[in-house]
Amino acid sequence: MNIVIREMKESDLDYIMEIEKNAFTPPWSREAFLLELSKNLLAKYILAEVDGEIAGYGGIWLIIDEGHITNIAVDERYRGIGVGSKILEGLIQLCVDRNVVAMTLEVRRSNEIAKSLYKKYGFKEYGVREKYYHNNNEDAIIMWKNIEF
């Protein structure tokens, strides 16, 4: 098994949308991804391929010296084999390459798998956004990581 990280392209969106629909409620729209890829100068999106097939993706906004992870999702067929870790490592490397000093994200309070992954890479819980997720009013845990050079 070979996991390759590369930049996301507009031509990848058919696969990305399938992963998005299965991973998130509510999912982002195709138009939202198109805006991120073509208009948002702060946004960077990468994806993971396993043996040539798109297995997951991640996005980040690079704002001055901070990186805000917008989303990470892995196709359910490829979960548990390190794809999420490779995506997160790719996002961290984007930040290191651009001298970003800290990264942040929000994660559902109930998403123990994601929180465990983030903690493995040095993210710490710093607060709560109450009722952040509109579909069910679930709280979001705010996590931060300082980047060491």
Q: Which residues are catalytic?
A: 106, 118
| Rg of the chain taking only CA atoms, in angstroms | 15
CA 76 – CA 54 distance, rounded (Å) = 12
Rounded to whole angstroms, the Cα distance separating 67 from 53 reads 27
Q: Which are the contacts of 147, defined by CB distance < 8 A and separation ≥ 6?
A: 92, 95, 96, 100, 101, 102, 103
Distance of CA 40 to the CA centre of its chain: 16
**43-50 sheet: strands from edge to edge:** 3-7, 43-50, 53-63, 66-74, 102-108, 138-146, 124-133
